[in-house]
Structure 1
Amino acid sequence: MSAKIIICDDEQEILDITSMILEAEGYTVIPTINSLTVTELVASEKPDIVLLDLWMPGLSGDQVARQLRSDEAVKSIPIIVISASRDGREIAFAAGANDFLEKPYDIDALLSIVNRHLLGGEQIAS
């Protein structure tokens, strides 16, 4: 059974490209453009990893991360925040993210971070 990854980004192109990259590696990807549905989706799907854009309408990635971290049933699922924001790294870690990937990201960097968390789940120092 392949690892399951939920991706939430408000830019359809990024959602599509990230999904294609991860699906080509054999992962099961559940994409959503609506940040308001992420917590329910995580609760029902129990993914192995959650990828969140930081700046989205509705709920921002850090708000979603905080919601997930406060839910006992899903709080141990690794969260990787993706953003072009200068202070995105600090915001992501303050919200409880396990890792941060800067946009525009390199495909190898994306796969490296995802694989590292699937294998070990260590947190990267900010």
Structure 2
Amino acid sequence: MTAPKKIMIADDDPGIVDAVEMMLEFEGYEVLSTMDGAKVLELRDEFPDLFLLDIWMSGQDGRDICRELKKRDSTKNIPVIMISASTDLARSAREAGADDFLEKPFNMDELMSKIALHLAS
């Protein structure tokens, strides 16, 4: 049996973190979550298979975190899906190196299909 894929959620909205975490666990993923974007950059081992980052987090811009993840050898190949309530940020998310973008409020089916797509590639 293969180990479940691990996904890290970083969002400062506890409602979103709880809902997404529940959905992902129901789908069989192992989930790590944080409401502090800086925690993402503190990971040294046990990296997730995919990052789900909010663009606007208190004190932290998810795009800066994404840029840093994409610079590091240890995390540059891990897919990053960025989420935001603002559609205007889709382009800047991609410029920061995000592999995908999802607008809030998002449809859980759409999120799950994007995650499956990036984990399959």
Q: Name the TM tier (shorter chain).
A: over 0.9
Partner of 1:102: 103
Aligned length: 119
Please, what is the CA RMSD of the aligned residues? 0.9
Runs of 4+ in 1 over 4 A off after TM superposition: none
- String of CA shifts for 1:61-118, please: whole Å, max 9, x gaps: 1010011011111111000001111312111101000000111000100100000001
Q: TM-score, normalised by structure 1?
A: 0.91
> Following TM superposition, by how much is the alpha carbon of 1:50 offset from its aligned partner in structure 2, in angstroms?
0.2
Counterpart residue type for residue 40 of structure 1: E
Pairing 1:104-123 to 2, within 5 Å after superposition: 104-120=105-121
Could you tell me the TM-score, scaled by structure 2's length? 0.95
Partners of 1:92 and 1:81 lie apart in 2 by 7
Identity in percent = 45
Unpaired runs of 5+ in structure 2? Answer: none
Higher strand fraction (1 or 2): 2
Aligned to 1:10: 12
Deviation at 1:36, TM superposition (A): 1.2
Aligned to 1:58: 59
2:75 match: 74
User: CA offsets, 1:32-71, max 9 Å, x none?
Assistant: 0011111113x32211000000111122110100110111
* Partner amino acid, structure 2, of 1:111: M
Structure 1: unaligned runs, 5 residues or longer: 121-126
Cα distance, 1:13 vs. partner? 0.7
